[in-house]
């Protein structure tokens, strides 16, 4: 919940020139609903994709305050985030709800960034893989692998300044890749797995050396054009 329409315009006017020479990377920005139109105008002639932070699981109707998938596509969105940890934590979104959201997003040809991750209590109890398995199997039930991106965001590393070590990130991503292969077979090879959890310009290079980390879901560090552009231009040694 950051940036008004005017703030979004100012951010993109600074950010776009900084990444115009970025290659071999897909860039997606996800402003609040009220800033989507402003972002769409500025991104129209760029290679940067536009995402929404959420959507509702019905086409239309008496759901005051909600946003439908067709509203997003009409506004210029090509992607949508589903199941962000904050939606799961603060708004009590269940695996069933997120499965419904994912299905309707794909029905409208929106690329889905599907978020999964465990809490600190779950990690310390040794339940990380059990949680990831449930979220994948129930959240992606009967959802084809096409245009699905999975984002692993350990809840204990979001907004806390803590980041999973490269070993922790790789272990989780490798497990996720195995579960996706079990669910989708060869089609799982097309699914990218992003890491999200206090990603910064200082740690992105190390995270991106992990064999099964395909990108980053960036939080606070994406609010400033210089730090976000540095993340986009990570150095994979």
Catalytic residue numbers read 84, 153
Give bridge partners of residue 82 from the DSSP assignment: 114
Nearest in space to 212 (alpha carbons), one of 236, 176, 163:
176
- For CA atoms 177, 179, 180, 182, give the dihedral sign: positive
Q: DSSP assignment, residue 110? A: P
Widest pairwise Cα distance in the chain: 52
Q: DSSP assignment, residue 47? A: S
Nearest in space to 115 (alpha carbons), one of 144, 154, 76, 160:
154
Phi, psi of 3 (to 5 degrees): 80, 120
Nearest in space to 181 (alpha carbons), one of 217, 115, 137, 233:
137
How many helices (H) and strands (E) are present in the chain, helices listed first?
10, 7
Number of residues in the chain: 237
Beta-strand pair 148-152/111-116: parallel
């Amino acid at each position: 919940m950051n940036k008004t329409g005017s703030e979004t315009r100012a951010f993109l006017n600074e950010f776009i020139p900084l990444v115009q020479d970025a290659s071999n990377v897909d860039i997606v920005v996800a402003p609040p609903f009220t800033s989507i139109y402003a972002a769409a105008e500025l991104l129209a002639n760029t290679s940067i994709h536009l995402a929404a932070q959420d959507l509702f699981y019905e086409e239309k109707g008496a759901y005051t305050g909600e946003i439908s998938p067709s509203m997003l596509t009409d506004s210029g969105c090509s992607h949508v985030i589903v199941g962000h940890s904050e939606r799961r934590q603060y708004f009590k979104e269940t695996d069933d709800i997120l499965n419904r959201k994912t299905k309707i997003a794909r029905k409208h040809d929106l690329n889905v960034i599907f978020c999964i991750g465990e809490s600190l209590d779950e990690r310390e109890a040794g339940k990380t893989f059990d949680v990831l398995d449930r979220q994948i199997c129930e959240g992606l039930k009967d959802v084809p692998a096409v245009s699905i991106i999975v984002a692993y965001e350990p809840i204990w590393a979001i907004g806390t300044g803590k980041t999973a070590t490269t070993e922790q990130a790789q272990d989780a991503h490798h497990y996720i890749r195995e579960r996706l292969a079990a669910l989708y077979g060869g089609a799982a090879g097309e699914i990218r797995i992003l890491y999200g959890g206090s990603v910064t310009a200082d740690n992105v290079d190390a995270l991106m050396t992990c064999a099964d980390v395909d990108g980053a879901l960036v939080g606070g560090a994406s609010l400033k054009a210089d730090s976000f552009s540095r993340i986009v231009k990570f150095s994979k040694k």
